[in-house]
Amino acid sequence: MAEPGLHEHHARLRVASSAAPHVPDAAWKRFAQAQSAEEFCGSWLVIQANVIGGVSDGVVVLQKPGGTSFAPVAFFPEESPRRSHLASISERVLAEGRGVVEPFESEDPEAIGPRYQLAYPVRTDGQVRGVVGVDIDWRNEAQLQSAMRDLQWGSAWLELFLRRHADPMETSRLRLKLALELVSTLLEQEGLKEGTAGFATELASRLGCDRVTVGLLKRRRIRVTAVSHSAQFDRRSNLLRAVETAMEEATDQAEPVVYPPDRDTSPVVAHAHEMLVRESGAGSAVSYPLMSGEEVVGALSLERPPGKRFDLPTLELCEAVAAVAGPIIDLKHRNERNLFVHAGGSTVSLWKKIFGPGHPGLKLVTIVAAAALGFLAVAEGDYRVSANTTVEGVVQRAVSAPFNGYISEAPLRAGDVVRAGEPIVMLDDRELRLERIKLVGQREQYRRQYRQAMADHERAQTEIVGAQIEQTEAQLAMVEEQLSRSRLVAPFDGFIVVGDLSQNLGSPVERGEVLFEVAPLDGFRVMLEVDERDIADVAIGQTGQLAVASMPDERFDFAVSKITPVNEAKDGRNYFRVEAQLEGDAGRLRPGMEGVGKIFVEQRKLVWIWTRSLVDWVRLTLWSWAP
């Protein structure tokens, strides 16, 4: 954009060098051999001061590399006593971004008129990167304009220097920063319409565009979503139709389209953009497809006024903005779709991934899942009802206290094997023995009285004493019976299921209190807690297998013998107790062992077996909701 000015100024400098012999040759040599920014700007400022003429003070201020602050890099003359003389006008140019001319009173009383301060900004990629300021003597308006023009043309050399010595990483960083600032307007608004409208307006303002348009791809056609500086717009207008056609031209080719075409851009069809420029009266137009991943989701169109074309840095910036904005716009658009459209879009996207090119992992998972579903649809397995199970003895005999007393001995406890007649617990019988001695002595006393009455022929006394003897003998017999029952023994061969009195010696017991429970060694039954949802599938005579927690690797066969028609509540669920008999050797099973039992029902499809609980729940839920 600045190349014509550079060539023209180069010619002017050659003329100036021949017409102004007072320019030091060292300045030209230093200008040609400059390596650093200070050398280049210093020699350039000397030449520029001599070209303009009448310069008493000059300064070149440039932006510091990698930062946003500015600092002077060259002065004219180099040993000027007033370093801050041009600071005010330089700061004004940096703030306003345009050339400034300011008059001020000269300190020389013989001066013809006021002196002037001239300053002009140095730009690259549309950003102010520096400023040039000079202090010149009085001159008329035409000469003042000529001096300002010389300063403007001369600043092109500084722009060229900055471009040649610019850090590529810094340029990319600044471009990315500007792109993110532009795209951030998309995120400031929650809605797609508001976000794209603010984004288009900000983009038009920052890049000097007459109009920026954002369109979304709907049913293979571009539809305008937002237009810069316009909250409301008519999609049916001829101009917006032309914009949509231009954006479709870019999305169909999946390439940016610039008109008038630039020599550095790739050759693309730009007929629709030519028509857009002709109809809108714009100077140039460019459209970028908005991509989300590998999918085109919309387009971005920019139009500039006549005489202002899109240069290469601006095109690169627009391309970066489109690349970042595409996924964000697509995400906002997807979030605003209703549930059915979202589900349909997800289904279509998944279908394309499965049957389209690429995505080998997803295709492999789909094939495996389809094969598994096909196998489950035809394969059959054993349908079995599972239930928590407890092993019990067929007969469990309770050993209870025959009378009120105290525990004397308790050598056995739960889990011990006993034989028939083997003592389990002995009660304290000292009081009974004393009672027996007392009753025996009392019986002998009554017998002596009975014999004396018989000798005296006292019939009435004989009857009375005889009754007392029978009463005493009855009491003695009861005491003997209690003494015999103070030693509690096992009723049969088995083992103790419940009871442990080894820590309760001397403690009292009451008559009828259960002290131990004894079960036989060879008679067991299996009690299953079948859930009420599965009880309909259980029938008497069905077989199954049992695994207990203490022996999970062993299986014990059983057959269902009884179904209790009364349910029980346990842990928040309802169960029916189902009784089954063990078949075969019980092995190391013992009453009280718990585990899991499975009752075999019949052969059914595997898919039915694994989904029946869910299907039953859905049926019941729908039934409860039905009117």
Whether the pTM exceeds 0.85: the reply is no
211/304 Cα distance (integer angstroms)? 7
The one-character DSSP state at 309 is -
- Return all residues near 157 (Cβ < 8 A) that are at least 6 apart: 6, 9, 44
Q: What's the pLDDT score for residue 434?
A: 84
Give percent helix, percent strand, percent coil of the chain, each to the nearest 5. Answer: 45, 30, 25
Residue 416 sits at φ, ψ, to 5 deg, of -80, 140
Rounded to whole angstroms, how far apart are CA atoms 203 and 181? Answer: 10
CA distances from 378 to 284, 373, 381, 446, 604 (A): 66, 9, 10, 95, 10
Half-sphere exposure for 92 (CA within 13 Å, toward CB): 13
Set out the domains of the chain in order of their start, with CATH numbers.
3-166 (3.30.450.40), 171-336 (3.30.450.40), 397-517 (no CATH), 523-625 (2.40.30.170)
Asked whether the beta carbons of 332 and 186 are under 8 A apart, the reply is yes
Sheet strands side by side (includes 55-63): 70-76, 55-63, 127-136, 115-124, 100-104
Residue 147 token pair: 């001096």
Whether the bond between 77 and the residue before it is cis, its omega within 30 degrees of 0, is: yes
Q: How many CA atoms lie within 13 A of 485 on its CB side?
A: 15
Euclidean distance between CA atoms 175 and 168, whole angstroms: 11
Tokens describing residue 227: 């237009």
The dihedral through the CA atoms of 171, 173, 178, 180 has a sign that is positive
pLDDT profile of the chain (627 residues), mean per 10: 39 39 66 77 86 87 77 80 74 88 74 81 83 88 88 83 62 66 77 86 87 89 89 79 91 89 74 90 91 89 88 84 87 78 75 80 87 83 90 73 75 72 75 83 86 84 86 85 73 70 74 75 82 89 90 89 84 87 79 89 87 88 86
Q: Residue 548's closest CA among 585, 582, 589?
A: 589
Which tokens go with 228?
Answer: 């810069």
